[in-house]
Amino acid sequence: MADRFRLTLAQLNPRVGDFGGNADKAFEAWKSAAAADADMVCLPEMFLSGYQTQDLVLKPAFTRDCMAWVQTLANRTAQGPAMGIGAPYLEDGFLYNAYWILKGGQVVARMCKHELPNSKVFDERRLFDEGAISGPYRIGPMQIGTPICEDAWHEDVPETMAESGAQILLVPNGSPYYRGKFDVRMSKMVARTVETGLPLVYLNMVGGQDDQVFDGGSFVINPGGRLAMQMQLFEETIEHVDFLETAEGWRAQDGPKAVFPDQWEQDYRVMVTALRDYMAKTGFSKVLLGLSGGIDSALVATIAADALGPGNLRCVMLPSEYTSQSSLDDAQAVASALGCRLDDLPIAGPRAAVTEALAPLFEGTNPDLTEENIQSRLRGLLLMALSNKFGEMLLTTGNKSEVAVGYATIYGDMAGGYNPIKDLYKMRVFETARWRNANHRDWMMGPASTVIPPSIIDKPPSAELREDQKDEDSLPPYEVLDAILELLIDRDLSVADVVAQGFDRDTVKRVENLIYISEYKRFQSAPGPRLTGKAFWLDRRYPIVNRWRDPS
């Protein structure tokens, strides 16, 4: 019927560079649309290439290969609904982030992204040329305007499309998670419906790519911001939405409205998804980690069990003479609760050999941090040997507090291929462990039980590299440290601003200095999932060599 338009939304998980695999996913979504008698199926921004490509898209052979797959998809979908799909577009030396409309075996329209984000994790002005604002295209009875992701975060592109005759706005996205991001998206999109008076379809992708997790949560809103349909977070989902033509214009009909979990569950789901997809997309299936009996490694082990299954997790205890019996007992309790393998690999013998080898050169010096770090580096060496021998990716376990101030040994406990808790401050590590003990979901592959013993959560944190060592011997209490770090890093406040909030100036200056002098460690650290808008790597890029300190 001319007064009805059915749109199929494919909230799916692409893989960067896997043009054939991504095309197959798009084709399966198209078949679902055809079976539902839909007029059009939509895939997210840059879906065919995968997202984010970073500088890979600057390689002309990459983009030309991807564009050839667009035509292959057009040929495969010639008889049936139209398809909208994101892919790069290279023409006359100009490179665009584009959205392609396929119908009847042809490319019938192409939009090029106009507003190129150049903040946080995005470098699109470096990668792409700015496209002209496109007018709407017609599919059946409907005129559709397609602002691509950032285009819809600004007024000009949607308003121009509305003024050019668009009857709905379809917004394909590659929008990664950070805590509270969904509310920001919804607020921006509601503003666009108020300004244009048009229904808006917000289509996001899902899945992990390096440090970023695309969380989905696609939705449809009618003019004035009334929610018509909302898809689940993190799940690959295909939904159909009907639009009916009314006297006021096209309006989306009500569909399913997913209820979202709280931020603790969302953060945990991001860490699990990030590790699961990083493993799958890089070709690994098994992981190992050093299980110390402390909170950080216990939480990482739990995340790994939930992401991959306990059978794909090997934990290794590497005790020294400073390792307490309680740590040995707690590590065993974690492995038993998770149902994973636990190997015992003492470092006393290797440490004695290293001590003997260095003795002639260390003669006349006193033991210090050097000897402590040797223990950590021996553990890293042994764990990497197991990783090499058995093809298991080594996970590292430093939380954001430690990563921020360099409370970790480079080439020691920092060794590893991925760090699931890299963007989780220490106090949130404790609370996340409590949350996981109290909650289990169908997407978790680990057991539904208390997997992190309360004794681990309650005991004072310690690296156990010397007698009776506690983290607070070297750092402020974590509740103080984390509060200062959030102000200096996440909010970019000055030292004076932090002091004005009640913190001791000498402590703040000490923390500030630790942040700056640890940059070289972060430069060499393993990637990990982004949970905040100021994660270490692309969100926050500082020079390694830096003599400036805040004079305030």
The residues carrying an active-site annotation are 45, 113, 149
Q: Which two tokens stand for residue 154?
A: 């600004």
Which residue in this structure is represented by tokens 């460690």?
521
Q: Which candidate, 408, 417, 363, 400, places its Cα nearest to that of 520?
A: 408
Which residue in this structure is represented by tokens 């953060």?
267
Residues in the chain: 552
Q: Tally Cβ neighbours within 10 Å of residue 251.
A: 16
Contact 253, 242 (CB under 8 A): yes
Q: Tally Cβ neighbours within 10 Å of residue 496.
A: 12
Q: Which candidate, 544, 540, 546, 538, places its Cα nearest to that of 126?
A: 538
User: In sequence order, what are the residues at sequence separation of 6 or more whose Cβ sits closer than 8 angstroms to the Cβ of residue 119?
Assistant: none
Torsion sign across C-alpha atoms 55, 58, 64, 70: positive
Q: Which two tokens stand for residue 549?
A: 């300190």
* Half-sphere exposure at residue 307, Cβ-oriented, CA atoms within 13 angstroms: 29
Strand partners, 294: none
What's phi and psi for 275, nearest 5 deg?
Answer: -70, -45
DSSP state of 258: P
What's phi and psi for 431, nearest 5 deg?
Answer: -70, -35
Say if residue 52 is preceded by a cis peptide, omega within 30 of 0.
yes
Torsion sign across C-alpha atoms 455, 459, 465, 469: negative
Measure the CA–CA gap between 378 and 335, rounded to whole angstroms.
22
User: In sequence order, what are the residues at sequence separation of 6 or more whose Cβ sits closer than 8 angstroms to the Cβ of residue 472?
Assistant: 460
What's phi and psi for 220, nearest 5 deg?
Answer: -130, 130
Host H or E run for residue 224: none
Characterise 318 by phi-psi region: left (phi > 0), alpha (psi -120 to 50), beta (else).
beta
| Helix (H), strand (E) counts: the chain | 17, 19
